Amino acid sequence: MNTSNAERPLARGIVARQRFSRIFSLGDRKNPVSWTPGLVRMAQDPQIPINLCTFEFKRDNSKIPSSLSLRSLQDICLPFGDLETWYAQEGLILPPSLVDSDSGSKSIGNQFLPISWQSMHHDPNLLDDDLEPSVIALIDAPQLAERQGMLVDAIHALKSRFPTSLIWTPGIGGPDNCALLSWIGVDLFDLSRSHEASARGILLTEEGPRNIEETVDEDFDINSQLNAWKRAIAATRTAIRKGTLRELVERQALSSPRSVERLRRHDAKISEIASKDPGAAALESSVNIGTRLRCHSFTSREDPLIVDWKRRVADLHTPPNHQSKVLVLLPCSAQKPYRLSQSHRRFQRSIKVRGVNEVMVTAPLGLVPRELEDIWPAAHYDIPVTGDWDLDEMKTIISMVEKYAIRNGFLRIINHSGIDIKLEKIEIIDTRQGSTAGSSESLKRLEIEVERASKEFELENPKESVHRLEKLKSLSRFQYGTDAWLDHAKVSGRPPIFKIDIDNNQIALWNPRRGGFSFSKPSLSLLDGCNALPRVEINSGFDWRGDIFSTNLKSSDEGIRLGDDVLVFQQGKLIGSARATASGWEWPRGPGRLAKAQHRL
């Protein structure tokens, strides 16, 4: 049995990413033969098109522990020239409930590595930095799937430890959970459940198992089961490319209570990780223009991206320095960013001073301060608008208002949101009084109360250029934790794009279409000096001209989010910047391009 390092590794690249899901291209980068998510064929399976299935699995049970093999069905291993078969031994697998016991018989494999819940707890070889399998099989996945939280924990641990590997969970995948398991981090599936469905005379579909409808000539044979897989894989790949996988997952999870439980467990786990390291939680700081975050279900509220937003606004965000006394709560609008909507243009005509902090009340984000309305996800979310608030939404909004207002020391809240909010420590004035937000009566009350607060609290009303700079400083504190790089800066230009200068040298542009700053070369040393951006160190001994890959990367800071700008160092010297195309959980060893070069000094 060949389990040595002579086995050739899988040639793979990254076509698209969303959180922990990825589309791998398999084979020659210029002419791939297949992609993931995909299938693994077994002995009883029919022929499957190569664009859906690139591997064939076999198990030899003639001796204990079983011998395993995974054969490529096309020339997809480096160096190219022939098919490849990887061999492994299963080891002695104890039930997950006996995790404290060590069987003493470990799984063995190089490019194809079987791993169990037990080996994850007892096999020190898994910590070897040189271990980098092409495919990992979580061989006790069916047992883990029956125990709350174990499957989610196991997949996340494997994904984080082996970011270059394809993850296969034998025996638990189906068209009804393909998107969900991909969201969690699974790349490969098999037809085991489909064969079981066929034997029982039912059809395993994208919506779950069901009886066939004979009036439209449906069948439950394995080819019909395979057609359901084709539709599910196509939908999943498309959703990853478009950045809409979460929406598909939320619909698909409703097919079974167990799927709902897995999604909730995953959301809770990743939200906890995000509070410490958003990069390890696979969160993005910016997205492609046109990407939408569709929040059409109750489950959307538990998306770690939304949970992280609510936490950061309530517990961390600070408003512009000249807006520290009076908070104005406004309703949201269907159009994003809000300032472009007709309703908010009317609000602006009633708010004639720049010294109040405008904050939109919305679901599912809770609160969106005006200075943050152009960034992800505030500028990109869609939600059904009914005008009604459920108890959970009300509780969230009131809690966020209380934390945000008290922590930032506001003296008065002018409430034009229409939500009944009462706080013991802060005066709240309701300008709606049962009227619609856009009625002439409520708008007049809003105008009067803003003017009265301006006089009573002697609110600052700086000129527009200072106002814009303070808003950008507040936004910088939210995104980077500091605004020191904007000291002595001046803002100019026509909305919505602003130029930021220091001593007549441009250091950055603010571009709301991207929802982020675009930094210039002169800003890099300034950003380095105030620790505004993550740092990465590339290997010494070569001239950095291309992008950043694991092959030329030595180390990286924690917390890198997809879309973040990073400072690039070599031998301790700042040599340029790049923009992350992968989240921090894939750094520094992830496959494909990790960051796209921006500037070279």
Q: Give the pLDDT confidence of 114-167 residue by residue, as tens digits.
A: 999 988 888 888 888 889 999 999 999 999 999 988 999 999 999 999 999 999
Q: Does a structural domain hold residue 330?
A: yes
Judge if 155 and 114 occupy the same domain: yes
Judge if 334 and 191 occupy the same domain: no
Residue 123's pLDDT is 84
- The mean pLDDT of the chain is 92
Amino acid at position 366, single letter: G
Judge if 42 and 180 occupy the same domain: yes
Q: Does a structural domain hold residue 303?
A: no
In eight-state DSSP terms, residue 66 is P
The residue-averaged pLDDT of 483-501 equals: 92
Residue 196's pLDDT is 96
Question: Two tokens at 511?
Answer: 């571009």
Q: Name the nearest CA neighbour of 283 among 325, 246, 234, 251.
A: 246
Whether residue 103 is predicted with pLDDT greater than 70 in this model: the reply is no
Three-state secondary structure call for residue 576 = strand
Element (H, E) at 593: strand 593-600
Peptide bond before 163: cis, by omega within 30 degrees of 0? no
**Residue 140 to residue 262: CA distance in whole angstroms:** 17
Judge if 416 and 507 occupy the same domain: no
Q: Does a structural domain hold residue 43?
A: yes
What is the SS3 assignment for 204-223? Answer: EECCEEECCCHHHCCCCCHH
Identify the band that residue 5 occupies on the pLDDT scale cut at 50, 70 and 90: low
Judge if 46 and 156 occupy the same domain: yes
Q: How many CA atoms lie within 13 A of 132 on its CB side?
A: 12
Residue 3's pLDDT is 45
Which strands sit side by side in the sheet containing 366-369, from one edge to the other? 366-369, 356-362, 326-331, 412-415, 427-430
Three-state secondary structure call for residue 360 = strand
Judge if 122 and 147 occupy the same domain: yes
The number of domains in the chain is: 4
Q: How many CA atoms lie within 13 A of 559 on its CB side?
A: 13
For residues 554 and 546, is the Cβ–Cβ distance under 8 A? Answer: no
Q: Are strands 516-519 and 498-502 parallel, antiparallel or unpaired?
A: unpaired
Q: Does a structural domain hold residue 86?
A: yes
Helices assigned H by DSSP within 336-490: 342-350, 391-407, 440-456, 464-480
**Residue 474 to residue 358: CA distance in whole angstroms:** 13
Q: Are strands 135-138 and 112-115 parallel, antiparallel or unpaired?
A: parallel
**Residue 340 to residue 154: CA distance in whole angstroms:** 45
Q: Name the nearest CA neighbour of 489 among 535, 520, 512, 534.
A: 520
Q: Give the pLDDT confidence of 572-585 residue by residue, as tens digits.
A: 999 999 999 999 99
Judge if 210 and 236 occupy the same domain: yes
Q: Give the pLDDT confidence of 217-260 residue by residue, as tens digits.
A: 889 999 999 999 999 999 999 999 999 999 999 999 988 899 99
Q: How many CA atoms lie within 13 A of 367 on its CB side?
A: 31
Judge if 240 and 331 occupy the same domain: no
Judge if 44 and 177 occupy the same domain: yes
Domain hosting 553: range is 533-601
User: Among 433, 456, 479, which residue terminates a domain?
Assistant: 456
User: Among 430, 456, 482, which residue terminates a domain?
Assistant: 456
Phi, psi of 439 (to 5 degrees): -70, 150
For residues 354 and 462, is the Cβ–Cβ distance under 8 A? Answer: yes
Q: Does a structural domain hold residue 372?
A: yes
Judge if 498 and 547 occupy the same domain: no
Judge if 267 and 370 occupy the same domain: no
User: Looking at residue 562, which CATH number applies to its domain?
Assistant: 2.30.130.10
> Taking the model in full, what pTM does it have?
0.93
Q: Does a structural domain hold residue 502?
A: yes
Q: Are strands 326-331 and 412-415 parallel, antiparallel or unpaired?
A: parallel
Whether residue 94 is predicted with pLDDT greater than 90 in this model: the reply is no
Q: Does a structural domain hold residue 300?
A: no
The residue-averaged pLDDT of 163-188 equals: 97
In eight-state DSSP terms, residue 93 is P
The residue-averaged pLDDT of 290-310 equals: 89
Judge if 439 and 576 occupy the same domain: no
Q: Does a structural domain hold residue 299?
A: no
The residue-averaged pLDDT of 375-401 equals: 86
Q: Give the pLDDT confidence of 264-275 residue by residue, as tens digits.
A: 999 999 999 999
Residue 2's pLDDT is 41
Helices assigned H by DSSP within 123-184: 141-145, 150-161, 178-184
Three-state secondary structure call for residue 282 = coil
Q: Which residues lie below 8 Å from residue 297, measured CB to CB, with a gap of 6+?
A: 250, 251
Q: Name the nearest CA neighbour of 56 among 40, 77, 36.
A: 40
User: Among 413, 433, 456, which residue terminates a domain?
Assistant: 456
User: Looking at residue 419, which CATH number applies to its domain?
Assistant: 3.40.50.10630
Element (H, E) at 382: strand 381-382
Residue whose entry in the numeric block shows the structure tokens 């104005």: 328
For residues 11 and 78, is the Cβ–Cβ distance under 8 A? Answer: yes
In eight-state DSSP terms, residue 8 is P
**DSSP assignments along 460-491, one per residue:** ----HHHHHHHHHHHHHHHHHS--GGGTT-EE
